A and B are shown apart, each in its own frame.
Chain A
Amino acid sequence: MEAKTLVLGVIGSDVHAVGNKILEISLKEAGFSVVNLGVLVSQKEFVEAALETNADAIMVSSLYGHGEIDVRGLREALIEAGIGDTLMYIGGYLVVGSQEWTEVEAKFKNLGFDRVYPPSTLPEDFIPTLKEDLGM
C-alpha cells in the first residue's frame, strides 16, 4: 500500500521549531510520507501544499496561544480548493491561560478540526488514532 501523505507545519507567526522536527521524525518512522512546511506557515501554504501533494491529512501545530485566530477559515479554504474532506489535526498550546480542555477541544472541533490534542501529547499518543482515521 502507498504511504499516506501528511502536511505538517506550525501555523501563524509562530517560530517554535523543535516540536515540529520531533513530529516530522516520529511520523516518518511510523511510515508516513511527510511534507514538513516548518514554522511560520500561512493557511495558504497549508492549502496549496495539500493540493499539490494530494495530502491525506493536515497536521497543524500552534504553540504560542494565538492558534484560534490563525486557524479560523482554514477548513473553509480547503473546501474552496476542492479538498474540503481532508483530515485535519491540531495540537499544542492552543489557548492562553488555563481554560477547561473540553471547551478548548469543542472550540477547535467547531473550527473544522477532526482531532484536537492538548499540550504534552506524545507522538505515540495519537499515531494509532491517526492510522485508524486514515483506514490504515
Chain B
Amino acid sequence: MTEAMILVDIGSTFTKVTAVNTRERSILSQSLAPTTPTDVSVGLQNALDQLELTSGALQEARVLACSSAAGGLRMVAIGLVEDLTAKAAKLAALGAGARVLKTYSFQLTEADRAEIIELDPDIILLAGGTDGGNSENILHNAKVLASLPKAVPIVIAGNRSVAQEVARTFPESFSTYISANVMPTIGKLQVEPARESIRKVFMEKITYAKGLNRASRLIDSIFMPTPAAVLRAGQLLSEGTAVTKGWGDILIVDVGGATTDVHSLGVGLPTKAGVVVRGLPEPFAKRTVEGDLGVRVSVLSLTEAVDARVLAQDTGWTVEQVESRVQALHKDPETLPQNPEEERFDQILGYHAIKLGVGRHVGRLSELYTPSGLVWIQDGKDLSKVSKVIGTGGVLINSRDPLMMLEGAGQESLALELRPENPSYFLDGGYILASMGLLAQEQPEAALTILQKSLSERELIRRDI
C-alpha cells in the first residue's frame, strides 16, 4: 500500500485538499480551489493540480472525501414525544452531520405533510416509541410519509417491534433503511446505528442526487457530510487510540455566516457533589447547530438574540450605527470589513454567536427546594471541566483575533450554565479537522498525530501587556 493519502473537503465555497504521508504521519501538501457547484470535479481537479506532489505519488494515493456542498445534508427528524424520541432523532441526525430542517413530534398532520413537501429533505429520519412501546404513532406517520409525491430515502429508527411493518408501508419507489431504535428504552439514547445508516444513505443516494458522483472518478471512497467528519476528528482527538492518549473532553466551535456549530466530546456527568441529572442523556459526541446565530445571512436574528444595545455597548457605536451595519451585512452577505472598526464589529458578532451557541449546547443547573433541603438539578452535559476549546471554520481561521471570539465559549453569561470554566484555546489554522476525520476511518494513529501536532502549534495565548 502506498503511503500517500489525499483527503478532500468539498465545502460550499472552497474545495480543500490535504495530502498526507501516513507512515511519517505528516502533511505533505495542502491546496484549495473554489468549489464549482455544477460539477464539483472541476474544482476538485483544480485543487489537486495545485498539490505539490509528483504525479506518480498523486496517482497512487487513495483519495477520501467529505462534502458540505449543495446545501449540505438536509434532513427532517420525526419522533413521538418532543423531549424523548423526537429529541433523540434530532440528536442522531445532527450527529450524522445533517442540517435538521425541522423536527416533528406526535402524529403528522396534513399541514405537516405539506410543509415537508415544501422543505424537500434529502433524508427523513423516522423514529417514535421505545422498543415494544408505542407503535400506533410511527405507523401513522409512515402512512403520511408514504403518500409524499416525491420518494425520499427513509431511515427507520423507532420501535423495533414494528420496524418491518413501517418499512412495508412505503411503496417501492422509496428506499427504506431499518436501523436500531434511537431510544430503545426511556432514558437510553442510542444514536450511533442511526448515524451510520444516514451516512450510508448519504454515500449511496445523496452524493448522486447532488451531482457529487461526477467527482467519483477522482475519489476512491467515503463520502460523508463534512460536519460528520469534524465530529469524527473530535472524537479521535478526545478519546485517542489504543496506543496514543487523547486530549480528554474537548469542545469544537465553528461560527459561520448562517449558523454556529458546536461539537462537544465528553460524557458530561456532574462535576460537583449533590447534583441530580434529569432529562434525556446526551451522546458522548454531541453536535448542535444554531440556525439563528451567524455573522452574515443570520445576522438579523443574531442581533435580536444578543440585543443591539449590547452590541452598541461593546463597540462604542450608537444603536443606530449598529443597526445600519447589521442591515448592510444582511443585505449583502459578501460584505467584508473596510476599516478596523468594522473588523472589530465582525469579531464582536462572532464572540456573541459563540457565547450564545455554547450556552445553548451545554447543560445547566437549576435549584430545587425539597423538604429534605436544596437539590441541584442538572439538565444536559456538564462541560465545566472541559480543558480545550478548538475553533474552526473560515470566520475564525481568517480572523486577525480568533482568541477574542473564541473566549465567548468560556465567558459565563449565566452562572448556572455548565460551560468550560478555564479552558485553553486552539485554532484549526491548517483547516485539517474534517480531513483528519476522514483519515481517522482508515489510519487513526496517523490522523491523531497530525491533529495533535497541528493544533498544539496553534494554541492561542492572550499576551497581556
Listed in ascending order, the chain A residues whose CB lies under 8 Å from chain B are 2, 5, 7, 13-15, 33, 35, 37, 39-40, 48-49, 51-55, 64-66
Please indicate the chain B residues that have their CB under 8 angstroms from the CB of A33 in the complex. 132
Q: Can you list the 8 inter-chain pairs with the closest CB atoms, starting with the nearest?
A: A53-B133, A13-B370, A48-B81, A54-B133, A54-B134, A49-B186, A53-B130, A35-B186
In the complex, are the beta carbons of B84 and A52 less than 8 A apart?
A: yes
Interface of B is mostly: loop
Tell me the number of A-to-B contacts counted with CB atoms below 8 Å: 65
In the complex, are the beta carbons of A15 and B372 less than 8 A apart?
A: yes
In the complex, are the beta carbons of A48 and B84 less than 8 A apart?
A: yes
Q: Could you tell me the distance between the alpha carbons of A2 and B135 in the complex, rounded to whole angstroms?
A: 15
Q: Which of B129-149 contact A (CB under 8 A)?
A: 129-130, 132-135
In the complex, are the beta carbons of A14 and B134 less than 8 A apart?
A: no
* Other-chain contact of B129, A2, A15, A39, A52 (Cβ < 8 Å): A52
Interface size counted on chain B using CB atoms at 8 A = 25
**What is the distance, in angstroms, from A62's C-beta to the closest C-beta of chain B?**
11
Chain A CB count within 10 A is highest, among B85, B134, B368, B369, for B134
Contacts known (A5-B132, A40-B276); A51 close to B371, Cβ less than 8 A:
no
**Is there a chain A Cβ closer than 8 Å to B185's Cβ?**
yes
In the complex, are the beta carbons of B370 and A14 less than 8 A apart?
A: yes
Q: Could you tell me the distance between the alpha carbons of A15 and B373 in the complex, rounded to whole angstroms?
A: 10
Contacts known (A40-B278, A48-B84); A53 close to B132, Cβ less than 8 A:
yes
Interface of A is mostly: loop
**What is the distance, in angstroms, from A55's C-beta to the closest C-beta of chain B?**
8
Please indicate the chain B residues that have their CB under 8 angstroms from the CB of A64 in the complex. 370-372
In the complex, are the beta carbons of B375 and A52 less than 8 A apart?
A: no
**Is there a chain A Cβ closer than 8 Å to B93's Cβ?**
no
Q: Could you tell me the distance between the alpha carbons of A85 and B44 in the complex, rounded to whole angstroms?
A: 61
| Chain B residue nearest to A16 in the complex (CB) | B372
In the complex, are the beta carbons of B375 and A15 less than 8 A apart?
A: yes
Chain A CB count within 10 A is highest, among B132, B186, B368, B377, for B186
Contacts known (A5-B132, A33-B132, A40-B278); A52 close to B183, Cβ less than 8 A:
yes
Please indicate the chain B residues that have their CB under 8 angstroms from the CB of A7 in the complex. 186
In the complex, are the beta carbons of A13 and B84 less than 8 A apart?
A: no
Contacts known (A35-B185, A40-B377); A53 close to B134, Cβ less than 8 A:
yes
Q: Could you tell me the distance between the alpha carbons of A14 and B372 in the complex, rounded to whole angstroms?
A: 8
Q: Could you tell me the distance between the alpha carbons of A136 and B233 in the complex, rounded to whole angstroms?
A: 52
Please indicate the chain B residues that have their CB under 8 angstroms from the CB of A15 in the complex. 276, 370, 372, 375
**Is there a chain A Cβ closer than 8 Å to B115's Cβ?**
no
Instruction: Indicate with 1 or 0, residue by residue over B112-138, a CB within 8 angstroms of chain A CB atoms.
Output: 000000000000000011101111000
In the complex, are the beta carbons of A13 and B186 less than 8 A apart?
A: no
Chain B CB count within 10 A is highest, among A7, A35, A54, A64, for A54
In the complex, are the beta carbons of A53 and B371 less than 8 A apart?
A: no
**Is there a chain A Cβ closer than 8 Å to B80's Cβ?**
yes
**Is there a chain A Cβ closer than 8 Å to B52's Cβ?**
no
* Other-chain contact of B133, A52, A65, A66 (Cβ < 8 Å): A52
